[in-house]
Structure 1
């Protein structure tokens, strides 16, 4: 698991850097404007429409496949996959028809504050982008299939294709026609799907598509429906919260949606790089442990995953809050990205950072419930979080505007995560909560000290060197400080990493 997570981390790192380059190119070309707002909404609509079903299917498919493979063998499990593919194609067709007919009211739902010109542009973009739903649905299933087979690298690589095509389409839209924006979005998913096909056809994976529908899989399809219904709510809490935020943001200011989007994507960059890397590798393994009734194994894996996420996310949270404005200026402060966009985006990033640990652990804990084929608990907690987010967004946006929307999302995420901790402890018993709390306190103290030192150096160097170079040096000093502190604090996960590095160095020395 650790080896797979390391490889996946490296691939995800380069993919996320390319993804962030995509956001930088968009901000450079269009800043926080009506065009960028319309484009962001048009790309949000298809992912949101399918996410209710797609994420739920992906999370329920893995434990059910593991159960079938354990009870009936690989061939029966692959027949079930084939039936699921047919179902996804059917649902995607219905979703596209509905979205195409009711495009205008759907766009208004996502951004009720758009003026006539921006609304018209968003509707046009959305009528093109919704055709990506077919490929989004199939990618969900096939990525999960490859992950079950222990192939984490291949699904991770499709992010390169996605980002490369999007970046190209943004650049071409400036030279030719802005319709290149939604066309490029659809093309990016088509190429991802085509990239996966050769790997699915490999004999060792033993999956081959067939048009035949096997009736023997009906029980498992009913099971996936049963698990997916509450999962639709539970797995899509982030999407629902982002829709609430964007709808209110469209009423606050032109470019408000874009500012939130840039801040969300920076937040997602961190989660995708560290959190999703850990959960993606851990989920199939925990699902198999559950099938084999290895609850102790689940607890140990969960404990290590929580401490690892805390170790990575807490210092980044402190750093993002301290350097929110210089960081946004460093990444986006050029081209059409003006001072107003800088102010709104940095404010949103500051308040989103508060909930970063909540977003991260919520994702991890939800996956554990899905492994136990319990989607009701995450659904109930998600419903509470959504209600809290809506109420807080309405209240806080009056006082903090864009920042209030981000703060509301952070508070609801933290509250939801605390509820999941309580529910999971009641479900599987104690999983060394005391050890998790001690580790959390150590990491928090180290992160705060790191933040103070890096902030001191930033302002000490600010008047002598370039702003961006000052930020980079301060972050590097902070990172080194943090690593030194946590090493001497004797945090278990760090000791494991250090020992592995020592073994590698000694083995290399012996070879020489």
Structure 2
């Protein structure tokens, strides 16, 4: 399997998802601004997303995919399909119960996340509309785990585009209708989320059927009992325990930060959201793509007892992090205002909102290397079916993050929350790297010092050019000329990319080394 080709496939589809996501966020910023209404929606949308990370691509995927890949490598496809049916049945019933409880208990859940919201009742209503989204997306995560194990990376990476298109369509078509009938137009976003969730689940069916892995979900009590008694289900649940705790720690940090932000004034939650959307662009393009490709590959290497190949795959991923994540981090730090202004400074999104979002984006930029690095290093433990070590590290990092909040939030406000998350991610990544080295699972390949010595000057030169472009052009003043501003942004970014890779080429970095085969 060509790792770079697989990661590139995921990245290209993820790029499409992020582009449509930026269009979606631009429409939200333009139509609703950054205030009490958008704060209410962001909190309501964050709740099912939190649970999706528990039941979906977080704890569940971290436990399920290594066991699935290992079972297929050692026992074959037929045994693996039986495992899929059993896991799907148990997951389906757990999700059904969760959705019912969530809809009933929405007022308490919203209060836990944003007691300081001005539009608390509106957030409760939108949470009830969107809570079933968790059921759709967790089953989509099950499908993604199966398809990735069968080396079908494109569809899972393309699926999120449907959510963005559904929300865009709802804002264009449904929001005016709601407004004419005296309802809050922002409810169109909730409807778009649910439509997107159903569409994402529906397109998994043909792909799963094509590889003979469409799960047979047992609907009766006897079928549920048979599924519950499957030994593979108990293995997944045993691995999910520590993984669930680990993801819960991360989500607890998110809950605490959202709660703090809701008390920092109207707009604070939204400023963090828009900055997070820009931060998620490189995180998804690189970090998620590498994680998706590495987990099945590392799990197969572990099942084959190939220690050398295992370490080589981790080394390949970490070099890509240094090569590609570092320039993204530099851009977020020195070119934040042009990015935010060009993407969001329209309609109801004011100059003050740009300034506030820029502060949060720079805070995230300080930790981008760590945020992406964790997505490469954590699979090194997951593939070993070692969930406990990352959990212990995550708990310690949670404590560190909240201690940093005590220092940074009184000084920097909502931007301090972003900075704490970024620096906490750096601590997390460094700790995971140290753990893999200490356990002997990762041994750096020769040439790291020379590689870093070539990458750093390229980043310094690129960063200097971006800083000059940010300072010399009036990005806020070009609001009335959006095409001109977008053209300048595109030109500067193209020049930055050309200069970066040009310096790398002149310094002797051979990019072909990354097109390695596992």
Tell me the matched-pair count.
496
The aligned residue for residue 478 of structure 1 is 496
Q: Deviations over 1:267-317 (max 9, x none)?
A: 011111122112212221111011101111011111111111211110111
Quote how far apart the aligned CAs of 1:22 are: 0.9
- SS of the equivalent of 2:146 reads helix
- Report the 3-state secondary structure (helix = DSSP H, G, I; strand = E; otherwise coil) of the residue aligned with 1:209: coil
Q: Would the alpha carbon gap of residues 108 and 209 (structure 1) be closer, same or farther in structure 2, given more than 3 Å must change?
A: same
Q: CA deviation at 1:496?
A: 3.1
What SS is found at the alignment partner of 1:201?
helix
Shift of 1:477: 2.1
* Whole-Å separation in 2 of the counterparts to 1:199 and 1:499: 28
* Per-residue CA distance 1:349-399 (angstroms, 9 max, x = gap): 011011000000011111111011000011111111112112212331110
Q: Does 1:10 align with 2:12?
A: yes
- Measure the CA separation in 2 of the matches of 1:437 and 1:189: 46
| 1:377 matches 2:392 | no
Which residue of structure 2 aligns with residue 189 of structure 1? 197
Aligned residues of 1:56 and 1:231 also touching (Cα < 8 A): yes
| Aligned 8 A contact 1:29 1:174 in 2 | no
For residues 99 and 497 of structure 1, do their structure 2 counterparts lie closer, same or farther at Cα, with a shift above 3 Å needed? closer
Corresponding position: 1:76 with 2:94: no
Which whole-Å CA distance do the structure 2 matches of 1:53 and 1:434 have between them? Answer: 39
Query: Where do 1:51-66 residues align within 5 Å?
Result: 51-54=53-56, 55-66=58-69
Cα distance change of structure 1 residues 490 and 137 upon mapping to structure 2, 3 Å threshold: same
Structure 2 counterpart of 1:266: 278
Of 357, 379, 382, the match for 1:345? 357
Partner in structure 2 of residue 151 of structure 1: 152
**One of 30, 34, 37 as aligned partner of 1:35:** 37
The answer to which of 430-439 and 274-283 deviates more is 430-439
Distance apart, 1:469 and its partner CA:
3.9
Aligned in 2, Cα 1:367/1:344: closer, same or farther, shift over 3 Å? Answer: same
Cα distance, 1:137–1:351 mapped onto 2, change above 3 Å: same
Contact 1:264-1:349 at 8 Å conserved across structures: yes
Does the Cα contact within 8 Å between 1:80 and 1:217 map onto a contact in 2? Answer: no
Q: What is the CA–CA distance in structure 2 between the aligned matches of 1:358 and 1:130, rounded to whole Å? A: 31
Residues 1:200 and 2:208 are matched in the alignment: yes
Give per-residue Cα distances to partners, 1:120-179, cap 9 Å, x unaligned.
000010011101121112111111101100100111121221110011122335302232
Quick one: distance in 1 between partners of 2:426 and 2:512? Answer: 28
Query: CA offsets, 1:416-438, max 9 Å, x none?
Result: 11110111112235521774455
Aligned residues of 1:46 and 1:130 also touching (Cα < 8 A): yes
- 1:67 to 2:70 alignment: yes
With over 3 angstroms needed to count, the CA separation of the structure-2 counterparts of 1:114 and 1:216, relative to structure 1, is: closer
Change (3 A) 1:320 1:215: closer
Q: Partners of 2:256 and 2:507 in 1: how far apart? A: 41
Q: 2:94 aligns with which of 86, 91, 94?
A: 91
1:313 match: 325
Give the 3-state SS of the residue equivalent to 1:431 in structure 2: coil
Name the counterpart of 2:181: none
Cα deviation, 1:214-241, whole Å, max 9, x if unaligned, reads: 4696322221111111101324554333
Distance 1:138 1:216 in 2: 17
- The equivalent residue for 2:241 is 229
1:414 and 1:173 map into 2 onto residues whose CA distance is 42
48-57 vs 11-20, greater mean Cα deviation: 48-57
Q: 1:244 aligns with which of 256, 278, 285?
A: 256
1:59 Cα shift?
A: 1.5
Quote how far apart the aligned CAs of 1:70 are. 3.2
The two structures have a TM-score, normalised by structure 2, of 0.90
- Give the direction of change, closer, same or farther, for the CA distance of 1:439–1:270 in structure 2 (3 Å limit): same
Closer, same or farther: CA 8–52 of 1 in aligned 2, 3 Å: closer
The match for 2:411 is 399
Could you tell me whether the CA contact under 8 Å between 1:113 and 1:247 is conserved in 2? yes
Please give the alpha-carbon distance, in whole angstroms, between the structure 1 residues aligned to 2:452 and 2:35. 40
- CA distances 1:15-64 after superposition (whole Å, capped 9, x unpaired): 21111111111111101021111111111111212422322111211111
- The Cα shift of 1:445 comes to 2.9
Matches within 5 A, 1:458-469: 458-460=470-472, 467-469=485-487
For residues 359 and 498 of structure 1, do their structure 2 counterparts lie closer, same or farther at Cα, with a shift above 3 Å needed? closer
CA contact (8 A) 2:465 2:496 kept: yes
Which string of whole-angstrom CA distances, capped at 9 and with x for unpartnered residues, describes residues 423-467 of structure 1? 111223552177445534432332122111332355456699955
Task: Summarize the Cα distance change of 1:207–1:447 in structure 2 as closer, same or farther, 3 Å threshold.
Answer: same
| Deviations 1:249-276, CA, capped at 9 Å, x for gaps | 1111201111100100110111111221
1:175 paired to 2:176:
yes
Aligned to 2:296: 284
d(CA) in 1 for partners of 2:505 and 2:94? 51
Moved more, 140-149 or 68-77: 68-77
Instruction: Report the counterpart of residue 47 of structure 1 in structure 2.
Output: 49
Match of 1:19 in 2: 21
Give, in whole Å, the separation in 1 of the partners of 2:203 and 2:227. Answer: 30
Counterparts of 1:398 and 1:434, CA distance in 2: 45
Q: TM-score, normalised by structure 1?
A: 0.91
Corresponding residue number in structure 1 for 2:340: 328
For 1:407 and 1:305, locate their aligned partners in 2 and report how far apart those are by CA, in whole Å: 25
Of residues 182-191 and 464-473 in structure 1, the stretch that sits farther from structure 2 once superposed is 464-473
Determine the structure 2 residue equivalent to 1:123.
Answer: 124
Give the structure 1 partner of residue 182 of structure 2: none
